[in-house]
Structures are given as structure tokens and as C-alpha cells.
Chain A
């Protein structure tokens, strides 16, 4: 695993991410490395819990095939035995044929039903498992991973790539089992009917095998290309739809059409290539099969002419022969789905092989019990260093202690490291060196639920999930009651606008009248944070879209909400400072000023400057 390319975060903030544009970057090529054999191991691990059911399903299919394949045998028996017997007025054998055939018909139908139902259950369980694994794993991966991987690719992994596996399981596996069974069964029948004819049939498997291998090699490459191509199409699609306003305003439609056409063409080409590979395989395999039939019939006819073979046996053999090669197309279909699924599984395995750069602890620790009834906890940055993938330290050795219950405002220009500090405290990233401690416990030792009872961060991008407003607030605490949700909204001044929505708290944010402005969205995300009720609250530019009264309402609420809580507030608007106990001024990853706001304002340092500029801006 090439950990270095993935576990070091890209800067989501400040010192800009040099995106490696050399095509060697696995992210750019959409080809994350997976350890050798990972694809097969993934498939095995998916099927392992289903062993018994797969076996049961296979058994159903075996029985079903037995019932189906008994047909020609009964035909041979009818012609060779029942007809002469009937002539001798012995109706027994013919009645036996009739009953036998009826039973076979009913059994093959019934077993087919049972098989499809059972197989679907296995398939769907495998898919459920795989979808869940992709989703859970993606959720466990860190923020920096998602910044590089893009949502489009992740969607592609969990839709089109899972779809390929679905096709393999739905049709492919059944095809394979049927094909193998028919081959074995019919070969055995042929060998039993007549050894030499059977031998010729079996010999024809040699060239077929070579053909299959050739196809597999060539199709594997094509399918990998196709999977990458469709992912690129999806990425473009998602980006356009999510940015539809600027697309429109800047008349990007034609340019986008052209870009999309290129990506779409690439997919079209690889798609066509895949279909053509299949065409080649079909021609080759049919040629082999039909030549073999001609030879076997010729041979059999000679033997009948010699009297070495009965006519009925030849008839049965001929019927079997036709069937022997019938599944060849289906073998092709199986190979087709297999190759397509293998290419997709390879990509999925690559995704699953990514280790979270912010892993959950194997033996999590608990936070010590709160000493008082106040929720705040002490935060310590102990010799923390942090640098982004591209080198250059954003935080060169950083020490900071924030006592429990203190509200700290962090100010400084863009790129000073404020957001990095916040993200380290929220454990979006881990420090490259040193520790971040919450009441003396390293954040890395805390399980996620414990961590989020401890620290919650509100960022400026206030994303709303599909669903109602209430559900969106309840993200803060899913088990919250409606009263608690409303109380949080009221505390932050969001209640009025929510009540004015068509269905109040139950308004679907995507349905009629559900349009919510950027400022309102920020209020919703504040309400989320209030509901979460953490020991440490981080606000990163959380009020940037609010108007002044809105911001003041939030701040009034904050003075009550933050009482006794530890808080780190990052804001360009220095109004925040008014509620802070302490101000940190950062520059180039270092704290250059530290003190109570009044002291700093009174001084002559940077903060005093900033504060003056801000005062002036309020004019």
C-alpha cells in the first residue's frame, strides 16, 4: 500500500495544495493501488458467509439440470424400448415415459423457481454487504481523502461498479453453474452412450479453453478502461449539476457539452471495444462447436452404418450434442460479466484498501468524568507539528493550553494556520508530531462517539442533507426530541424562519418552498451544534453569511450556550471577540499575541491594528 500518497492530508485550507498533475498519481488516474489478490480476496470474503446457501443454491440447480437433461434420455428410451414394447402391446414403458416426462417438466419448473428465488437472496445479500462496506469505509476515510477522490468517483464505485457485480451474480453465476453442469453432465452422458463420440466431444474443450483464456486477457484490459471512463463521466456530471448556477451564469453549457462529449466518447469507445471482444469470442467458440458437431455426427453415422451403434443412441447423442454447445454463448455472457465485475471489484478493492489516515483506536479510552456540572474540558496542544503532503509545515511545533470553560478567539490572516488548528482539534487530521489532549486524553485514543461528545466543529459551509429541517438539526443528536430541536433553534434565532416555512420543521429542504438561504443554513448548522451539546465547541467562520442582527442574536445565544463550555472561535469579523475570554493572534503557524481582548486592544500589537480596521469597517 502506498500510504504516503494517501495518508498525508491535502491542505483544505491555507497553503494551497499542489495537485500532482503527473499522471503517475493514482488519484488522477482513478486507479488506487490494491494489494495483489485483493480483488479475489474481496470476492471470497463476500461469498464466504454465504457458503452454505451457495451450496444449497447450487444443489437446487444441480437437481434442476438433472431434471432438464433427463429429457433426451427419455426420448432415447421411448424410441428404442417403449416403441417396440408398444408394438408388442406392452403399454407400461410408454406410460413410464409419459409419467417420467411430466415429472421432469414439473420438477424442472419448480426447481427453477426455487433456484431463482434462493439465488436472488444470496445475490442481494452479497450486494447489501458490498454496498455497506463501500459506504462505511468511505465514511471512515478522512476528509482529505474525499477531497482528492471526489464524490463522483465514490458514486461510481457504489453504483455502476456494484451494478457490474450485480450482473455477475444475477446472471453470471447462474450461467457459470449451468454451463459447467451441462458440460459435465452432457459429456458424461455422451461418454456413457458411446465412448468414442464422447471422447471427441471432450477433446473439443481444449480449443474452447484456449479461446476463453484469450478472451479473458483481452477483455480484462478493456473493462478496466471502461470502468475508469464511466467514473470520469460521472464526476463531470455531478460537478455540473452541483454547480448549475455558475454554469448558467457563465454560459458554460457549450464548453461543458464539449468536455462531456470527450469523456462520453471515451466511454463509448471502450464500451464498443468490450462488445467487439465478445463478438470475436462468439464467432470462435461457435466455429469450434459446430465443427465438432459435424465430426461427431459423421463418426456416429459411420458407426450406425457399420451396425456398431444403434440408431436411437445416435439420435440421443445428436440431441445431447446440440445441447452440449448451447451454453457456449452463455459461457461468453458469464465471462463478459465476470470481466466487467472483476474490473469493478478491482476499483472497489483499491478503495477499500485505503487506510483511514485518522483511524479509530483499537482500544479506546474514556474521557474522565467531569469534575463539576459544567460541560467544559481542558484542551492541550502538546508539541504539535503539522505539515501537508506537499511539505512546508503549517504548524511548526505548537504548544497551547486552553483551560476548561474558556472561550478563545483565534484571529490572523488567511494561511496563518487557524483552520488547521481547528481541524486538528476536531481530529479531521492527526498531527504529524506531538499530541492533542482533551482533559489529558489523546484525541487518537477516543472512539468516535466519545470524541464527538467531547468536540464538535461548525464550519462555514452549511450543507443541508435531503430531508426535513428538523432532521437536519437532529444531525447534532439523532435521538433528540422535537422539543429539544425547537429549543436549539429558538436559542439561536432560527425558530422564526423555520416556523414560516410551508411545513415548519417538517419542511423538506428540497420540496416546495424549501429554499433556504445561506444565512439560514448557517443558523441550522448552529442549531445542530447546540443540540450536540459538546464539551468543546469549535466555530470556524460559522457566521460569515449572517447579517449583523443575526450574528448578534447568535452571539447573545452563545454567551449562554458557551457558559462553562470550552470554545474555539475563528472569525474574520472581530465582533466575535467580544464574547471571548482570550484572543490568540496567529501568523505563519505561530501564536504571536495571546491575552484577554481588552488588554490586546489597548496595546499596540497586530490585534490592536486589526481591531481598529474592523471598527472602521463598521463605520
Chain B
């Protein structure tokens, strides 16, 4: 069980946020915020006005105390109260207006960012997904984005608003009495210095916490996906232990975060309060001297106290901004990964397409019927060290039009990888693959994948109806007739007897069907579109002998006019194919018919009929 956190990326990729400014990171949000910039800035403006209104209220109070109240002028008192009421109503409406202005737009920004992440992830190379635990991806799409929305809703606006409020407040105080005002300004410098230190430390811990949330998400996900194994071995205790360790670690990080936050809060609370105390004493002395009116002192202190919240809030606003900055960083870590290009790659230019480079399907020459060709293909996973031996090397293979070729090789010899190259789930490192003479990098992936249908060894079904699951292998025009035909080829007629027939929903990953049933549906999906090229990765492994025989009989018809590459482990599957290619040590070691190879190739005979291979016999002697 995973005792170590499942950090998906390389440690090298995880450079801490130190040295990168939070502001610069947050600026990357601009493209998403741009569409709502008017609303957002209006809201900020409204908030500033509302805060200023709040600051004016003490001035009205001062005017009342020094004027009408001292003069015992009832009309003045009424007037003052009326002003207060009006200001109060204005403040309330402005606060509401601010929230109303941003409510929908910010939810929209969050949703857009999430949709952007989802869309981007769907288009990232498969190799990227191999390396990233989906829990890490998910936590970026949920908790991180929520943090960002909160940041846009509060800290962003209020850092501005409170900043302005503080400046205006300080100006008012300076105007009222500049000595007292200067006393109040005293703590500003140490506060700013301490905040800077705090910011840096907090950023580090915040990033740690967010990564740990991602790891935790991964463990939860795996605990469900692997539930049969956990149950089968009675391992839920050790799984729980692993989970507990991770959540303990997270707790520790959160506590570190809290202690940092507590410190900055305490500092931000104490220093201004000391200044207010000093101002009170100085002011009291001045009032005693008669150089200051009592009303001015009341108003001054009232202003100072009104500023307390804006000042105190700076601490947690900074903290939230830091968290938002790390969330942004995490978000863009994924978004900066290069997606597969939708367009044909530039390398296609080396071989101009006949007919002036028009690449629409109709423009492709039917005369170029050449089947599927591998030309000196070499492949190494992009994340493998460049000096490591390639997984596939010098693959030259020609599958003639309408021919089906079985691909045979020992477990782990790279058969699945080879098949993944055809629909460009992975890119060849060197060499070319051509379909009917056309380099697969010359057509868009979209088009390529519509020409090549695939059935994977792990038959994944999506949360939709059985019918939709199968028909997603065909164009939009395919209907019930196509569905029936495909189901019958794959011997998946059981689908009609499901409670709602082919409209029956299959759950997340189609878990509620047996492996054999899923495999047959995946096969139906591959053949439903009558593809010109078919890639089947061990398509019959979970079928019983009778079903397998029936599927094979039906498949033969399909295969007669389709160019197919079939990964096979067993003679029965191999016999579907016209010829067999043997993959050994990353090369095509032999090509021929099943019977030829059985006779002439010892390795092939070993793979197909078992028995002891020569080396094994040596070992046993």
C-alpha cells in the first residue's frame, strides 16, 4: 500500500513558490477575469464608496456632538440624525450592490476556469495522464478553484478597499489633528516589513497543504477503484492507516499555517492598538490643554477605531491571497502542459500532400490504397531518459489494405504501446506511420481517430446508455441498425435483454457489467463505425471459449474489408488474422502466417503453444 505520498510530478517540477512573486502569479488570472472586469471594478468602486460612507458617519457624529448637541439645537439634532439615516441606508445598499455585482460573474469565472481545465486535460497527451494521479488533477479543479473564486470575491476587492479606506482614514485623521495622525502612522513601517516576511513563509506552507490535499484525494480515489483488492485481502486497515498518515501530515501542515496566521494576526492587532492608546493619551493631554476640542478627539478616535477592522483584516487577506497564488500556480502547472496539437504537425510539410495540400477526407486519393505501414519507427516514452534504450526500435511493418495482422509478443514486449502509436495516443520518437500512404502526422488527430477505431485491453465504459457507449465509435449518423449490427458482431446481444435494452445506463466505468460483457461492448464500439483501420488490443481475453468462437466468426466478416492490427495472446485470436508479426526486444522479429511461424520460429512456437523454452530448460538442468 502506498506509504509514500503519491506525488505525481517529478520532484524537480515542484519548485517552491519562493522567489516567485504572488502578484505576478495572480496576474495570470487576468484572461479569465477580463470578461468580468467591468463588474469587478465597479464592485470595487462601490465597495470603496461604501467604506468611505462608513468613514463619513463618525464625522457627522462629531458635527452633532460639537454643534447641535452642545448648542442644544433640536433642529440640528434632527438634521444630523436624518443624515445618519441616509448615509446608513446608502451604505447598506452599496454593500448589497457590491455583492450583487460580483455574485454571478465570479461563479462564472470559476466555472470557466474549471471547464478550461477539464477541456485542456482531455487534450493533454496520454503520457501526461500516466504520470499524474487524477486526485491531484481533481483537487486543482475543485478546491483550488474555489480558493480562487473566494480570492476574487474578497481579498482582491478588500485589499484595495481596505487600502483606500486606510489611506482616506489616515488623511482624515491627519486633517483633524496632524500630531495624532502621525502617532497613528507610527506602526505602519514595522507592519509592512513583518507582513512581507509572513507572506513568504505562508506561501510555502500553503503550497504544501494544497499538494497534500491532492495526495489525500488520490488515496480516496484509489481506495474506491481498488476496493475489490482491498476487500479481497482484508487490507482496509492498512489502507486506512495510509490515509490516516496522510491526513495527519495534512493536519500538521494546517497547524503550521494556523500558527503563522496567528502570529501575523497578533502583530497586526497589537501594534495599531498601541498607537491608538498613545493617540488617546496625547489627545487627552491636548484636550486638557485646550488645544483640541473633545469632539475632535471623539471623532479622531472614532475614525481610528473604524480603521481597526480594515487594518486587522490585512493579515488574513494576505493569507488568502497567498493561498490563491499557490492555487493559481497549481492550476497553471496543468494548463501550461502542452496539449496535443489539433492541427496536423509541421513535420507533415516535408511531404506535400498531392492536390495542393488540401486535407479534407474527400481529397484523399482512394488510389493510394496502401494499408497501414510502420517505417523505421522508434519509440521511447517522452519522460524516459533520452539515453535509455528505446522501447520500440526499427519497427518496419506493412499491413496491406484489407489485411489483418496479429501482433504477438511476450508480456511487456511493447505490443500495447505499438498499437497506441497508430491513433497517436503517443507520438513516435522517430520514423513514420502511414495510412494509405499518408503520414498520420499530416492529418488532424480528430480525422485520424475517426479513421482508426480502437478496442483497448481495459474496456472502459462511460456513464451513459449502452447504446451511446457503442455508438460513440461511429459518426453522428449511425442509428439503431448500426447498433444492432455491431452488437451482434461482438456477440453482445445481451444488451437487448437489459432492463431498458440498449438505453440501460451503465455506471462509472460500467462497473456493473462483467469483464466479458464490457469487453464485448468495447469491441462493438470499435466495429460500429465500419472503420477502415481497426486496432484491437487483446480483444477477447475475458471471453469464454464458446463466446470467443462466435465473436471470431463474426469478426472475420468485418475484418475481410478492414485493415486491422490485432494484439493477440492465443492461437484462437491469432487465427483471426491473415498474417502474424512477432514483436521481440522492441523489434519485429518475424512476419508470416501462423503456421509458417510455428514451424520456423522457436520463440513464436513457445509463445503460442507454451512448453518450455530452450533457455528455461537450460536453467532447470
Give the chain B neighbours of A413 by CB distance below 8 A.
Answer: 544, 546-547
**What are the interface flags for A238-252 relative to B under an 8 Å C-beta threshold, 1 for contact and 0 otherwise?**
111111111111111
Q: B2 and A124: CB pair below 8 A?
A: no
A159 sits at the interface (CB 8 A): yes
Given contacts A239-B509, A510-B131, A572-B542, contact A302 B270 (CB under 8 A): no
Q: B610 and A286: CB pair below 8 A?
A: no
A16 sits at the interface (CB 8 A): yes
Segment from B60-68, B430-438, B558-566 that makes contact with A: B60-68
Q: B411 and A497: CB pair below 8 A?
A: yes
Q: B298 and A71: CB pair below 8 A?
A: no
Q: A513 and B266: CB pair below 8 A?
A: no
Among A269, A449, A517, the one with the most B-chain Cβ atoms within 10 Å of its Cβ is A517
B507 sits at the interface (CB 8 A): yes
Q: A428 and B111: CB pair below 8 A?
A: no
Given contacts A113-B265, A253-B119, A549-B410, contact A132 B139 (CB under 8 A): no
- Mark out the residues of chain B between 416 and 447 whose CB falls within 8 Å of any chain A CB in the assembled complex: 416-417, 420, 423, 425, 446
Given contacts A124-B255, A304-B69, contact A248 B449 (CB under 8 A): yes
Q: B111 and A552: CB pair below 8 A?
A: no
B365 sits at the interface (CB 8 A): no
Q: A279 and B607: CB pair below 8 A?
A: no
Q: A13 and B514: CB pair below 8 A?
A: yes
A267 sits at the interface (CB 8 A): yes
- Mark out the residues of chain A between 250 and 276 whose CB falls within 8 Å of any chain B CB in the assembled complex: 250-253, 255-257, 260-261, 264-265, 267-269, 271-272, 275-276
**What are the interface flags for B107-143 relative to A under an 8 Å C-beta threshold, 1 for contact and 0 otherwise?**
1101100110011011100100111111101110111
Min Cβ gap A447→B in Å is: 9
Give the chain B neighbours of A16 by CB distance below 8 A.
Answer: 494, 497-499, 504, 512-513, 517
Give the chain B neighbours of A114 by CB distance below 8 A.
Answer: 262
**What are the interface flags for B182-218 relative to A under an 8 Å C-beta threshold, 1 for contact and 0 otherwise?**
0000000000000000000000000000000100111
B93 sits at the interface (CB 8 A): yes
Docked Cα-Cα span, A467 to B276, in Å, equals 57
Given contacts A120-B254, A261-B115, A302-B77, contact A291 B514 (CB under 8 A): no
Given contacts A268-B111, A294-B85, contact A414 B233 (CB under 8 A): no
- Mark out the residues of chain B between 26 and 79 whose CB falls within 8 Å of any chain A CB in the assembled complex: 57-58, 61, 64-65, 68-70, 72-74, 77-78
Segment from B172-180, B397-405, B480-488, B568-576 that makes contact with A: B568-576
Given contacts A94-B284, A302-B77, A474-B1, contact A547 B222 (CB under 8 A): no
B14 sits at the interface (CB 8 A): no
Given contacts A247-B122, A297-B84, A544-B542, contact A283 B96 (CB under 8 A): yes
Docked Cα-Cα span, A72 to B305, in Å, equals 9
Given contacts A16-B513, A272-B107, A619-B575, contact A159 B280 (CB under 8 A): no
Given contacts A155-B217, A544-B541, A618-B571, contact A314 B65 (CB under 8 A): yes
Q: B122 and A11: CB pair below 8 A?
A: no
Given contacts A260-B118, A301-B81, contact A116 B258 (CB under 8 A): yes
B511 sits at the interface (CB 8 A): yes
Docked Cα-Cα span, A255 to B102, in Å, equals 30
**What are the interface flags for B294-334 relative to A under an 8 Å C-beta threshold, 1 for contact and 0 otherwise?**
10011001100110010000000000000000000000000
Q: B74 and A238: CB pair below 8 A?
A: no
Docked Cα-Cα span, A143 to B123, in Å, equals 32
Give the chain A neighbours of B262 by CB distance below 8 A.
Answer: 112-117, 120
Segment from A17-25, A34-42, A188-196 that makes contact with B: A17-25
Given contacts A159-B139, A252-B472, contact A545 B457 (CB under 8 A): yes
Segment from A227-235, A431-439, A481-489, A589-597 that makes contact with B: A227-235
B586 sits at the interface (CB 8 A): no
Q: B6 and A610: CB pair below 8 A?
A: no
Chain B contact residue count (CB 8 A cutoff): 202
Chain A contact residue count (CB 8 A cutoff): 194
Min Cβ gap A359→B in Å is: 13
Min Cβ gap B167→A in Å is: 20
Give the chain A neighbours of B236 by CB distance below 8 A.
Answer: 136, 139-140, 448
Q: A549 and B294: CB pair below 8 A?
A: no
Give the chain B neighbours of A291 by CB distance below 8 A.
Answer: 85, 88-89
Q: A532 and B233: CB pair below 8 A?
A: yes
- Mark out the residues of chain B between 550 and 609 whose CB falls within 8 Å of any chain A CB in the assembled complex: 569-572, 575, 594, 606-609
**What are the interface flags for A459-494 relative to B under an 8 Å C-beta threshold, 1 for contact and 0 otherwise?**
111010111100100111010000000000000000
| Nearest residue, chain B, Cβ from A159 | B217
B346 sits at the interface (CB 8 A): no
With beta carbons under 8 angstroms apart, the residue of A237, A289, A415 that contacts B138 is A237
Segment from A74-82, A344-352, A374-382, A401-409 that makes contact with B: A74-82
Among A108, A234, A235, A283, the one with the most B-chain Cβ atoms within 10 Å of its Cβ is A283
Q: B411 and A523: CB pair below 8 A?
A: yes
Q: B130 and A515: CB pair below 8 A?
A: yes
Docked Cα-Cα span, A455 to B230, in Å, equals 13
B467 sits at the interface (CB 8 A): no
9 closest cross-chain pairs (CB), A and B: A290-B88, A452-B234, A101-B277, A120-B258, A109-B270, A18-B499, A283-B96, A286-B92, A279-B99
